[in-house]
Amino acid sequence: MKAALLIPAAGMGLRLGWDGPKALVDLGGAPMLAVTLSRFAAADLTPPAVVTVPPGQAADFDRAVSALSPFPCAFVEGGAERQDSVLAGLESLPDFTELVVIHDAARPLVSPDTVRAVMDAARAHGAATVALPVTDTILQADGAECLAETPDRSRLWACQTPQAFRLDIILDAHRRARREGWRVTDDATLARRAGHSVRLVRGTQENLKVTTPFDLRLALRLRREERQ
């Protein structure tokens, strides 16, 4: 089953205080996207990787990343929201694609073992996502920011990426979402809403998403520790 990599990287770095695409922020001497791509070097993937980028910036991404990537990249313009970008990327995948691995550009420290595990689960089950069991008590608020409900922590997982799918499953889910106006924040949720079972694969705390300045400082520290 030939697998391709799809990296949504069209987001801007406003919450980081970065005036530009978040995927190009420096992470210890290389753009974050290049570090993220390097984590997939040992995976059983067939190039090119499809990377969705902000409109008009494909050439900038090509110059910044291509020489550092372990495999060729095809840069595709993304949409206004992540869901739009992922669909654009899915529709740009090579014809050989049977399995697609979708991973946030802003998760640069995913482990190769995690990548292999989620791909194996998707091959076996059709759809899988990396996630972590929740350790904090989660509080659900009402409209006045008062406690409304406390969900059972034993059944809660925090979603991560990569997420991996048979291409027919996730492409059908995205196209149905476009027709019916569904809006979600991750692809596994979209697949589940379309009626598909999604296997949960245990991730790691190091697979953090770089969103805030604190996240960036932590990612830089973890990257330095890895390289020592």
Domains of the chain by start residue, with CATH? 3-227 (3.90.550.10)
Whether the pLDDT of residue 113 is over 80: the answer is yes
Residue 14: per-residue pLDDT? 81
Residue 13: per-residue pLDDT? 81
pTM for the predicted model, two decimal places: 0.96
Kindly indicate the confidence band of residue 20, based on its pLDDT and cuts at 50, 70 and 90. confident
Whether the pLDDT of residue 127 is over 80: the answer is yes
In whole angstroms, what is the distance from residue 190 CA to residue 57 CA? 28
The angle, 0 to 180 degrees and rounded to 10, between the axes of the packed helices 82-90 and 167-180 is 130
Residue 59: per-residue pLDDT? 96
| High-pLDDT (> 70) share of the chain, % | 100
Whether the pLDDT of residue 228 is over 80: the answer is no
**Helix/strand/coil (H/E/C) assignment for every residue in 91-145:** CCCCCCCCEEEECCCCCCCCCHHHHHHHHHHHHHHCEEEEEEECCCCCCEECCCC
Kindly indicate the confidence band of residue 30, based on its pLDDT and cuts at 50, 70 and 90. very high
Residue 94: per-residue pLDDT? 93
Q: Which of 171, 190, 184, 180 is nearest to 92 (CA)?
A: 171
Q: Residue 61: how many CB atoms within 10 A of its CB? A: 22
Kindly indicate the confidence band of residue 163, based on its pLDDT and cuts at 50, 70 and 90. very high
Q: Which of 89, 51, 77, 112 is nearest to 165 (CA)?
A: 89
Whether the pLDDT of residue 132 is over 80: the answer is yes
Kindly indicate the confidence band of residue 158, based on its pLDDT and cuts at 50, 70 and 90. very high
Worst-scoring range by mean pLDDT, 5-14, 30-39, 127-136, 152-161? 5-14
